[in-house]
Amino acid sequence: MGARTASISHLLHPTPPNPNKNPNLKPQYPNARKTLIKPIISQTTPTIQRRHLLLFSLPMSVAIQFSSGFSALAAFDPVSPAERDASAAVSIRVSEAVELLERGRDLQAQGDFSQALEYFTQVVKNYKDFALSDYARVGRALALYEVGDREEAIAEMEDVSISLKGYPEVHAALAAALYVDKHSPLLAENQFTIATLLDPHYTDISYVKETKHWPPSLVSSLQHFMTLS
């Protein structure tokens, strides 16, 4: 038992050979000391060193060109002065159109439909290249219906119901006008169905009167349609 234990211990902890006893025996790890004391250098260090050497070896003129190139890139503006001026001009026109549209709606809310008609017409005439002109056409149609030109008002509503398809107010207004002025209950029903599916508020007379500020004549037409009178 003791001999077996000694053998195992000898295997687990082998005694390195002593070169003094046998001069012909070479050490098992000849470079062990060198390996232990050899400094560990990162693999990326030679690459970084080569880059540094390349940078410092460049002529001064090349370095100046690099610096100038970076400065020019930083100062580069993709927008030309002409494009910037054109953008500023469009912004001014949009502000003017919005101001006129809001002024027309304010006058509509005050019940001054003749003056509101003038502002809405200015937007439609002078800013028809903007999408917001379609909303001015809605206001213009409502004002036209009140001041007496109902034929033109209905024609405007029909056009805008296509260009602004899905805008509930124009569909509801067109339904009222088609029922009363064109005697077309089926077409009126179709338009009103579109309007109320998009916004159920248009089934409430007080909503179009107090919130949307419809003219009295159009409110009356909508009431006739809803009561089938």
pLDDT cut 90: percent of the chain above it: 59
Residue that has been written with the tokens 């030679």 in this structure: 46
Residue 30 tokens read as 């000849």
Q: 145 lies in a domain?
A: yes
Is 104 within 8 Å of 120 (Cβ atoms)? Answer: yes
Number of structural domains in the chain: 1
Mean pLDDT of the region 112-131: 96
Which residue segment(s) compose the domain that 148 sits in? 93-227
Is the pLDDT reported for residue 52 higher than 90? no
| ∠ CA 135-118-154, rounded to 5° | 55
Q: List the helix and strand counts (H, then E) for the chain.
A: 12, 0
pLDDT at position 221 is 97
Q: What is the pTM of this model?
A: 0.65
pLDDT at position 37 is 42
Is 164 within 8 Å of 145 (Cβ atoms)? Answer: no
In this prediction, residue 139 has a pLDDT band, given cuts at 50, 70 and 90, of: very high
Quote the CA–CA distance of 137 and 141 in Å, as a whole number: 6
Is the pLDDT reported for residue 227 higher than 60? yes
Residue 171 tokens read as 């569909």
The CA R_g of the chain, rounded to the nearest whole Å, is 44
Q: 110 lies in a domain?
A: yes
pLDDT at position 85 is 81
pLDDT at position 86 is 82
SS3 content of the chain, % helix, strand, coil (to 5): 75, 0, 25
Is 192 within 8 Å of 225 (Cβ atoms)? Answer: yes
pLDDT averaged over every residue in the chain: 80
Is the pLDDT reported for residue 40 higher than 50? no
Q: 100 lies in a domain?
A: yes
Mean pLDDT of the region 107-133: 96
Mean pLDDT of the region 215-223: 97
Residue 102 tokens read as 């809001």
User: Which CATH number belongs to the domain containing residue 118 in this structure?
Assistant: 1.25.40.10
Q: 15 lies in a domain?
A: no
Residue that has been written with the tokens 């409110």 in this structure: 219
Is 168 within 8 Å of 202 (Cβ atoms)? Answer: yes
Q: 186 lies in a domain?
A: yes
Residue that has been written with the tokens 């070896």 in this structure: 57
Is the pLDDT reported for residue 22 higher than 90? no
Contacts of 150 (CB under 8 A, 6+ apart): 144, 177, 181
Looking at residue 13, the DSSP 8-state letter turns out to be S
Is the pLDDT reported for residue 153 higher than 90? yes
Q: 167 lies in a domain?
A: yes
Torsion of CA 84, 85, 88, 93, to 10 degrees: -140
Q: 114 lies in a domain?
A: yes
Mean pLDDT of the region 84-89: 85
